[in-house]
Amino acid sequence: MTRVQRSRLLAPLALFLPALAAAAAETWPARTIRMVIPFPPGGSSDILGRLVADRLGHALNATFIVDNKPGATTQIGTDMVANAAPDGYTLLLGAASAFTVLPNLRKLNYSLDSFESIGGVADYVAVLAVRKSLPVNNAREFIEYAKKNPAKLSFGSAGEASAGHVYGATLARDTGIKVLHVPFRGSADAVNALVAGDVDFVIDGAVTPMVKADRVRPLATLYRKRHPELPQVPTLAEAGFTIDTSKGSGWGLLAPKGTPQAIVNRLSEALHAALEQKEVQDAFVRANSIAAWQTPEAFRAGLAADEKMYAQLLPAIGVNKN
């Protein structure tokens, strides 16, 4: 068959593709939807993803399954969804860092253009906490102690280029302290190491339960307002310090590029409605986050702006491209 003959055969098919996509969107969801969470079970991201999947399932009369695909600081799970069929049956609870930090550190097989944005889900509320035996009671005493003991304090994070890593390195740069970074496989491992005294501090929302259990000492929250679960803990700004941080959403919901717009719109509407529910907002707080709906356009714009910000910040704090 010649190229011309093949083109003549395929041309009529191309005319039917939009109609086929529209028909698929009308019957969606007709089978189980997979929610990929690029983090291990048990952390804040896992809790958020499972809650979102549950609420979307109720709203859309659909069955959702959660698929944890951690690794490479969310790269593995994110890449998996980027290459999934764009049929509305594979979704990603995307970490902002996958699109803002990682592109500035390594070559990726995906980009923001590999996805359809469904909407922003939540803002991250990180907590600076130290081991109970460290002789400091507030952020100012901590900074003073670190300056008197350069390169002797260590901090744990969920991995290289994770939010906790970037926060810790930025805090060190902007306050003039020297600390050692210890990456773990996830937030839960980093928090456990803090409780055990294997590291001196973490900057991670997942430490909140240990704060409430009085197993570690909180010094500040890295957010524009206090953590609703820890109202006695000041913000870093209230403690007298400011550092460069992301201005965009911490998590968002995305689908593979090419997912029919009708499906994206239905998911977006259901997500927005879910985030307005008080019980969802309260559950998010317990997962160290603030429900923060963003339109697909606003979510995408925030990621693009933060990627440019990190392009300047990361080299300045010694986090360089591999």
Task: Work out the percent of the chain whose per-residue pLDDT is above 90.
Answer: 75
Nearest C-alpha neighbor of 72 from the set 101, 47, 51: 101
Nearest C-alpha neighbor of 38 from the set 86, 88, 87, 96: 96
State the chain's mean pLDDT as an integer.
91
Domain-terminating residue out of 188, 222, 256: 222
99 shares a domain with 50: yes
Query: What is residue 190's predicted lDDT score, i.e. its pLDDT?
Result: 96
Asked whether the beta carbons of 130 and 219 are under 8 A apart, the reply is yes
Least confident span in 126-135, 222-231, 244-253, 297-306: 244-253
Mean pLDDT of 299-311: 93
Mean pLDDT of 296-300: 96
Domain-terminating residue out of 222, 238, 272: 222
Asked whether the beta carbons of 104 and 134 are under 8 A apart, the reply is no
137 shares a domain with 114: no
Nearest C-alpha neighbor of 193 from the set 223, 159, 170: 159
What is the residue range of 197's domain? 126-222
**Does residue 184 register a pLDDT over 80?**
yes
**Does residue 316 register a pLDDT over 50?**
yes
Mean pLDDT of 131-143: 98
Mean pLDDT of 110-123: 97
197 shares a domain with 142: yes
201 shares a domain with 55: no
Total residues found in the chain within this entry: 322
CATH code, domain carrying 171: 3.40.190.10
Beta-bridge partner residues of 154: 180
114 shares a domain with 36: yes
Residue 245: alpha-carbon gap to chain centroid: 14
CA angle 23/252/255 to nearest 5° reads 25
Task: Work out the percent of the chain whose per-residue pLDDT is above 70.
Answer: 92
253 shares a domain with 107: yes
Q: Please, what's the largest Cα pairwise distance for the chain?
A: 80
Least confident span in 8-22, 113-127, 133-147, 206-220: 8-22
| Residue 5 resides in a domain | no
Q: What is the pTM of this model?
A: 0.79
Asked whether the beta carbons of 222 and 203 are under 8 A apart, the reply is yes
| Residue 286 resides in a domain | yes
Give the Cα separation of 140 and 222 in Å (integer): 14
Give the Cα separation of 212 and 210 in Å (integer): 5
| Residue 239 resides in a domain | no
**Does residue 132 register a pLDDT over 80?**
yes
183 shares a domain with 36: no
132 shares a domain with 113: no
Asked whether the beta carbons of 116 and 271 are under 8 A apart, the reply is no
Asked whether the beta carbons of 136 and 145 are under 8 A apart, the reply is yes
Query: What is residue 81's predicted lDDT score, i.e. its pLDDT?
Result: 98
27-83 per-position pLDDT tens digit = 999 999 999 999 988 878 899 999 999 999 999 999 999 999 998 889 999 999 999
200 shares a domain with 56: no
Give the Cα separation of 107 and 105 in Å (integer): 7
| Residue 321 resides in a domain | no
Least confident span in 83-97, 157-171, 211-225, 287-301: 157-171
| Residue 272 resides in a domain | yes
Query: What is residue 6's predicted lDDT score, i.e. its pLDDT?
Result: 53
| Residue 40 resides in a domain | yes
104 shares a domain with 49: yes
143 shares a domain with 92: no
114 shares a domain with 155: no
Residue with the larger pLDDT of the pair 87 and 3: 87
**Strands laid side by side in the 179-183 sheet:** 179-183, 153-157, 201-203, 126-131, 216-222
Question: Which of helix, strand or coil describes residue 277?
Answer: coil
pLDDT confidence band for 11 (50 / 70 / 90): low
As for how many domains the chain has, the answer is 2
Mean pLDDT of 127-153: 98
Give the Cα separation of 92 and 86 in Å (integer): 12
| Residue 4 resides in a domain | no
Distances in Å between the Cα of 137 and the Cα atoms of 105, 133, 145, 216, 224 are 35, 10, 11, 11, 21
CATH code, domain carrying 259: 3.40.190.150
Mean pLDDT of 280-288: 90
| Residue 3 resides in a domain | no
pLDDT confidence band for 287 (50 / 70 / 90): confident
pLDDT confidence band for 10 (50 / 70 / 90): low
